[in-house]
């Protein structure tokens, strides 16, 4: 019992750290985007202000049970993604519950949060909700194809689905990273990561400046605050996951910060450099070159 309580306490510390790191990272990158566009931008701590503001609000609108469960499912997806991956390899505090999960479980949690949010948005009564849901699920299905192929290639390479074992196999130097031992899998995975991040050119799900859809419109008050909290956790979890899969993981908290910051900066650079795709363009893109690269990675590993 003492061991379980100790592990739970360490996990809470790890979750607290990644939540605050995700919030600060989101505020920092928003300011970077503003500088690129010639604006001053919001303060780095603006995400904290937004969450507090929304959590102090209340709503008297009722759309049905599923509408309120949507943010809960979304938060569960973000938490599940993070709690079953090691944030810092070999760390007692930041290993989380990685010993009891694998890549398939983490991929399930990524799907779970997005599908739950789609069900909640669909019951919101907003006239554009079906449009946002159809766009989101279509693009999610497309970018998961190269990501799944990349995961299959890595699993075949190391003969395991354990994220901890995959990170362990990449220790010993930069040339042991999947980015160098299996570059095709890395390229397919990092392209799919752009779709997961939903920035340009794959921001069609929320479609800023086009139509009023997405959680900021459909949700309000504490429900929006919950989604904003999950955004920080889920962004941090995805960054740590891709760091573990392709870039050797991290053996201390500072290496984790540097690597995840650079991975996030990669998405921001692409976001600031390209216009938005239409839904059909996005789907054709992910099912084209990235999927072929993923297939090539799998075939090479099988050979």
pLDDT at 202: 85
Q: Helices 279-286 & 289-302, crossing angle to 10 degrees?
A: 20
Q: Dihedrals φ, ψ of 241, to 5°?
A: -60, -50
Domain residue extents for the chain? 2-302
Report whether the peptide linkage leading into residue 201 is cis, meaning its omega lies within 30 degrees of zero: yes
Share of the chain above pLDDT 70, in %: 94
| Pair 290, 192: CB distance under 8 Å | yes
Average pLDDT for 115-119:
77
Most confident residue range from 29-33, 35-39, 169-173, 217-221? 169-173
DSSP code of 86? -
Cβ atoms of residues 164 and 99 within 8 Å: yes
pLDDT tens for residues 161-214? 999 999 999 998 899 999 999 999 999 999 999 988 888 888 877 665 555 555
DSSP-assigned states of every residue in 124-156: S--TTHHHHHHHHHHHHHHHHHHHHHHHHHHHH
Say which residue, 131 or 81, is predicted with more confidence. Answer: 81
Cβ pair 199, 271 in contact under 8 A:
yes
Distant-in-sequence contacts of 43-47, Cβ < 8 A, 24+ apart: 47/23, 47/228, 47/232
pLDDT tens-digit map of 145-163: 999 999 999 999 999 999 9
Q: Please, which residues have CB within 8 angstroms of residue 147's CB and are 6 or more apart in sequence?
A: 107, 188, 189, 192, 193, 196, 294
What span, in angstroms and rounded, lies between the C-alpha atoms of 215 and 121? 7
Which is more confidently placed, 89 or 209?
A: 89
Interatomic CA distance for residues 216 and 124, integer angstroms: 12
Q: How many other β-carbons are positioned within 10 Å of the β-carbon of residue 271?
A: 21
**pLDDT for 258:** 94
**Which DSSP symbol is given to 99?**
G
Predicted confidence at residue 128, as pLDDT, reads 72
pLDDT at 146: 94
- Measured between alpha carbons, how far is 186 from 191 in angstroms, rounded to an integer? 9
The rounded distance, in Å, linking the Cα atoms of 110 and 191 is 17
Over range 288-298, report the average pLDDT. Answer: 94
More reliable by pLDDT, 8 or 175: 175
Report the pLDDT value the prediction gives residue 116, as an integer from 0 to 100.
76
Higher pLDDT, 87 or 70: 87
pLDDT of residue 163: 92
Contact assessment for residue 192 and residue 147, using Cβ atoms and an 8 Å cutoff: yes
- The answer on pLDDT for 22 being more than 70 is yes
Which of 10-14, 53-57, 215-219 ranks highest by mean pLDDT?
10-14
The pair of structure tokens assigned to 64 is 């049905």
Torsion of CA 186, 189, 191, 197, to 10 degrees: -130
Q: What is the mean pLDDT of the chain?
A: 85
Least confident piece of the model among 64-73, 272-281, 287-296:
64-73
Confidence band, pLDDT 50/70/90 cuts, at residue 91: confident
Q: Taking Cα atoms as reference points, which of 74, 150, 143 lies closest to residue 115?
A: 74
């Amino acid at each position: 019992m003492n061991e379980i309580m100790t592990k739970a306490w360490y996990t809470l510390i790890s979750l607290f750290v990644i939540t605050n790191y995700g919030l600060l990272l989101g505020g920092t990158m928003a300011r970077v985007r503003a500088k690129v566009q010639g604006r001053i931008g919001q303060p780095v701590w603006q995400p904290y202000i937004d969450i507090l503001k929304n959590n102090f609000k209340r709503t008297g609108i009722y759309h049905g049970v599923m509408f309120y469960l949507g943010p809960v499912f979304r938060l569960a997806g973000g938490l599940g993604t993070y709690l079953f991956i090691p944030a810092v390899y070999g760390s007692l505090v930041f290993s989380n519950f990685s010993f009891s999960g694998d890549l398939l479980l983490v991929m399930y949690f990524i799907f779970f949060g997005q599908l739950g949010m789609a069900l909640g948005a669909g019951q919101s009564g907003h006239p554009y909700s079906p449009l946002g849901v159809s766009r989101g699920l279509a693009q999610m299905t497309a970018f998961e194809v190269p990501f799944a192929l990349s995961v299959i290639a890595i699993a075949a390479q190391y003969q395991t689905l354990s994220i901890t074992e995959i990170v362990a196999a990449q220790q010993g130097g930069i040339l042991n990273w999947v980015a160098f031992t299996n570059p095709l899998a890395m390229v397919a995975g990092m392209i799919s990561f752009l779709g997961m991040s939903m920035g340009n050119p794959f921001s069609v799900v929320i479609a800023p400046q086009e139509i009023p859809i997405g959680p900021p419109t459909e949700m309000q008050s504490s429900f929006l605050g919950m989604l904003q909290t999950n955004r920080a956790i889920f962004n941090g979890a995805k960054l740590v996951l891709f760091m573990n899969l392709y870039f050797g993981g991290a053996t201390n908290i500072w290496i984790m910060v540097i690597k995840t910051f650079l991975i996030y900066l990669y998405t921001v650079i692409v976001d600031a450099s390209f216009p938005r795709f239409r839904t059909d363009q996005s789907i054709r893109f992910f099912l084209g070159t990235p999927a072929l690269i993923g297939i090539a990675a799998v075939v090479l590993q099988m050979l």
